[in-house]
Structure 1
Amino acid sequence: MYTQKSFAKGSTAPGPVTQGTIRLYSMRFCPFAQRTRLVLQAKGIKHEIVNINLKEKPDWFLEKNPLGLVPALETPSGQVIYESPITCEYLDEVYTDNKLLPSDPFEKAQQKMMMEHYSKVTPYFYKIPMGRRNGEDVSALEGELKEKLAKLNEHLKKTKSNYFAGNSITMIDYMMWPWFERLEVMELKHCLDGTPELKKWTERMFEDPAVKDTMHSPDTHKAFYQTYVAGKPDYDYGL
């Protein structure tokens, strides 16, 4: 079941999670929720999606997740798991087909270390467009972002791999991807100039079935982003 329209304050809570499936509380344009959707698709997990209006969150959702954040998972037994890396690791542990995390402890630790590094990169995807909108000089911030992207490029160059942990897509690729999908919308695509390996990685990722299943077109992203910047996010844009 895909519940496309978002549930807002005052809405009736959806019924219990169907046996044999897992429910994802999401928002169609949220990059953090997209991480979990990518994992669900890549692993072929039977699931249903309930989209949440993040500006006017339903009380019933806040009871399930007091932080009010997406993504959050709910099992048929009523267990709730939230925070994007935690939901993704949970899915990989519970649904053992098509494993995305390595079983070797050191290799798994390496992916988590890469995630720690990448967590320092994502704030730039918000700071730079915001600064630009406020009329600030963002050239220094862009320079810092380019440095960090150059390090990611260096990793791919050094390992001579198609993806960040080898020649097939693994968890770390999906964890990083959503912000690269949005580079054009955030007017940061030029930050990939001078990072040829990273550019090739993005081209490969665009061809991945799970990425294709969860992505929006640049025009759709832009249209939603404009409503978000205006302070009136249209979570149901395009439906």
Structure 2
Amino acid sequence: MSTEKCFAKGSAAPGPVPNGYIRLYSMRFCPFAQRTRLVLSAKGIKHDTININLKDKPDWFLERNPLGLVPTLETPAGEVIYESPITCDYLDEVYPEKKLLPSSPFGKAQQKMMLELFSKITPYFYKIPMGRKNGQDVSELEAELKEKLSKLNEDLVNKKTKYFGGDSITMIDYMMWPWFERLEVFELKHCLDSTPELKKWTERMLDDAAVKATMHSVDNYKAFYKTYVEGKPNYDYGL
């Protein structure tokens, strides 16, 4: 995990990407960037990490990615790749050792369809805590989230596998994991009470080396999200 402080507007641009490495532009607490960090770690890819202040982005970063989003990858040849699923697919293709995506076109399509479904779930992890903070009744949103999580549970039951792509971790597990890692932070852990297989999946994921290498403590997450919600995100919290 990178312990580098974030680069903000006015900071000097980093030097060229070293040969034999790939560069990740990231933010330490971003779940989308964590997807890419998980893949880099799982595949043992040599990389350096530049953390970006997402509230006050350096101009040189916006030249690389006009959307100003993390994760963004940069190669020694100056090629730039962004959007978390795209960066992860790229890494799996360019570094073929320990493939995370299935080899069959249908297997790949299944994982992408599942990811598409999961993208409809992630907004709940933000809507519910924000609604709660604003004094809204979030019981209906929680019921919807529980229903969506029960479908993921059903998927594991039907497949009779330990993970979503089989009995070992594949890309889809890493793509979904960052939001489950934050369940306790968002005070949503109880939403797994009726999903025993999904709960077992989260426990198995916690034993994974890449997950261990990229995670923060609940206290660190909570402290960061407090600064985020207050509108003054401390991207360097804990350094």
- Name the TM tier (shorter chain): over 0.9
- Give, as a single letter, the amino acid of the residue that structure 2 aligns with 1:189: K
> Hey, what does 1:113 align to over in structure 2?
113
> Hey, what does 1:187 align to over in structure 2?
187
> Hey, what does 1:234 align to over in structure 2?
234
1:24-43 pair list within 5 angstroms = 24-43=24-43
Matches of 1:154 and 1:190, distance apart in 2: 18
> Hey, what does 1:69 align to over in structure 2?
69
- Give, as a single letter, the amino acid of the residue that structure 1 aligns with 2:211: V
- Give, as a single letter, the amino acid of the residue that structure 1 aligns with 2:68: G
Instruction: Name the SS of the counterpart of 2:70 in structure 1.
Output: coil
> Hey, what does 1:102 align to over in structure 2?
102
Instruction: Name the SS of the counterpart of 1:184 in structure 2.
Output: coil
The CA deviation at 1:2 is: 4.3
Matches of 1:186 and 1:102, distance apart in 2: 32
Number of residue pairs the alignment of both structures matches: 239
> Hey, what does 2:54 align to over in structure 1?
54
- Give, as a single letter, the amino acid of the residue that structure 2 aligns with 1:237: Y
* Off by >4 Å, runs of 4+ in structure 1: none
Question: 1:225 aligned to 2:219?
Answer: no
Contact 2:73 2:87 in 1 (8 A): yes
The CA deviation at 1:191 is: 0.4
Question: 1:10 aligned to 2:30?
Answer: no
**Which ranges of structure 1 fall in alignment gaps of 5 or more residues?**
none
The CA deviation at 1:35 is: 0.1
The CA deviation at 1:4 is: 1.1
Question: 1:203 aligned to 2:203?
Answer: yes
Instruction: Name the SS of the counterpart of 1:50 in structure 2.
Output: strand
Question: 1:159 aligned to 2:159?
Answer: yes
> Hey, what does 1:134 align to over in structure 2?
134
- Give, as a single letter, the amino acid of the residue that structure 1 aligns with 2:126: Y
Instruction: Name the SS of the counterpart of 1:180 in structure 2.
Output: helix
CA-atom RMSD in angstroms:
0.9
Matches of 1:159 and 1:63, distance apart in 2: 45
The CA deviation at 1:102 is: 0.7
- Give, as a single letter, the amino acid of the residue that structure 1 aligns with 2:101: L
Contact 2:2 2:28 in 1 (8 A): no
> Hey, what does 2:212 align to over in structure 1?
212
Once the two structures are aligned, what percentage of the paired residues are identical?
79
Relative to structure 1, is the Cα distance of residues 183 and 2 closer, same or farther in structure 2, using a 3 angstrom cutoff?
closer
- Give, as a single letter, the amino acid of the residue that structure 1 aligns with 2:95: Y
Matches of 1:64 and 1:177, distance apart in 2: 27
Instruction: Name the SS of the counterpart of 1:136 in structure 2.
Output: coil
Instruction: Name the SS of the counterpart of 2:5 in structure 1.
Output: strand
Contact 1:3 1:48 in 2 (8 A): no
**Which ranges of structure 2 fall in alignment gaps of 5 or more residues?**
none
Matches of 1:106 and 1:49, distance apart in 2: 33
The CA deviation at 1:3 is: 5.9
Matches of 1:65 and 1:108, distance apart in 2: 27
Contact 1:3 1:50 in 2 (8 A): no
